[in-house]
Amino acid sequence: MPVYKCKTLISTPLDLLHGAGRVPKLSSVYSRVKLLASRAEVPLKRIEREIARDPAICARLPRLARALYPALGQGAASVTGVLAILGGERIKHLILITAVAAAYRKIKSSQFDMRRFWRLAARRALLARLIAMEAAHVDPTRAFVGGLLADVGHLVLHLGIPVPALDAQTRAVQSGLSVHEVEQALLGFDYAGVGAVLIRRWHHSAAIETAIEYQMRPLSAPEARGDACTLHIATRLALAIEDGIAPEHLIAGIDAPIWNTVGRSDQLLAQIAANAAQDFDELAQALSPEIVLPAASRPAPETLLADAAVPIAQARAKKLLRMPAAANANGLQRKVS
């Protein structure tokens, strides 16, 4: 097992978020709008003024609103039009995904495919919403947001600790295990846990946080189990579609209790995939980093801390560092292979 030399000990997702200097922060507009939208009487004019402070959010919000709420149609061609139609809870969901898309728009990584990241996010979000429409106690909008953000932990791993993240990905391919299992063995946590901690930091939704954390083992979720099962199916289906695998080939790999929890039949898998495909192009374009801002309002380029990420050690790093390297390598091989 390789022991990564660390400037800072990282043994939990929270350690990673504290130490990974390249992880973009959401615009402060998100926090202010979320607070205003939580009031009994939503002050739309004040919310509009807050949103106007961030040109990147302004440019994306109407397009994402139409993708998130198709019934809005062209009546949501502007920020003013969107706010006039939506209520406070919907505004909070919308401003979160808009702020995330705006904050992460300039990320570049030599080992992480950002185009695939956004494409999968769009597919997951659309699929999760459709699966949730008939699921008990699962809000379709909440499922959409969870689907959009489900893989953000992977992005944080590759930005914050690129060497171990790539190592886990390589070992997963070689061993035939899932990436989250290998990440748990190598790092002591996985991308789902990182994503959940990030959502918790944003103080957005406990149900979305739980769904993301338990997306690969949804029946273990202590609450919001329907959300976690919905996201699990959407994640598996989105990956299959992106990799050119027919949806019906997934049925055997998804446990019957998971389908029973969401109240949907696995026989509808192909139809769900077909329905989601209808809105995919519009959502993918709305999430695209290439949205052009008006020249006068373009923000100054953001500088990322080059190579600011530090390699990782497990929670037991102090003990591992005292062990011979060969012993560590053999131990990992037995655990992961």
Q: Could you tell me which residue, 216 or 106, shows the higher pLDDT?
A: 216
Q: pTM here?
A: 0.79
Cα torsion at 56, 62, 66, 67 (round to 10°)? 0
Q: What does the pLDDT look like over 294-326, one tens digit per residue?
A: 444 444 433 333 333 333 333 333 332 343 433
Residue 113: CB atoms within 10 A of its CB come to 11
Q: Which of 41-45, 221-225, 270-274 has the highest mean pLDDT?
A: 221-225
The predicted model gives 232-244 an average pLDDT of: 91
Tell me how far apart the alpha carbons of residues 42 and 219 are, in angstroms, rounded to a whole number.
37
The predicted model gives 3-27 an average pLDDT of: 68
The predicted model gives 239-243 an average pLDDT of: 89
Q: Which segment of 23-32, 155-164, 259-268, 306-315 scores lowest on mean pLDDT? A: 306-315
The predicted model gives 149-176 an average pLDDT of: 89
Q: Is the per-residue pLDDT at 256 higher than 80?
A: yes
Instruction: Supply the pLDDT for residue 329.
Output: 38
Domain architecture of the chain: domains with CATH: 13-24+104-336 (1.10.3210.10)
DSSP assignment of 265-316 equals: -GGGHHHHHHHHHHHHHHHHHHH-TTPPPPGGGPPPPPPP-TT-------TT
Q: Is the per-residue pLDDT at 208 higher than 70?
A: yes
Q: What does the pLDDT look like over 174-203, one tens digit per residue?
A: 988 889 999 998 888 999 999 999 999 898
Task: Report which of 53, 142, 150 is spatially closest to residue 100, judged by C-alpha positions.
Answer: 150
Considering the chain, what is the average pLDDT of its residues? Answer: 79
Residue 253's pLDDT band, with cuts at 50, 70 and 90, is confident
Instruction: Supply the pLDDT for residue 20.
Output: 60
Rounded percentage of the chain residues whose pLDDT exceeds 90: 33
Grouping H, G, I as helix, E, B as strand and the rest as coil, residue 215 is coil
Q: What does the pLDDT look like over 52-96, one tens digit per residue?
A: 999 989 988 988 888 888 888 766 778 888 888 888 888 999 999
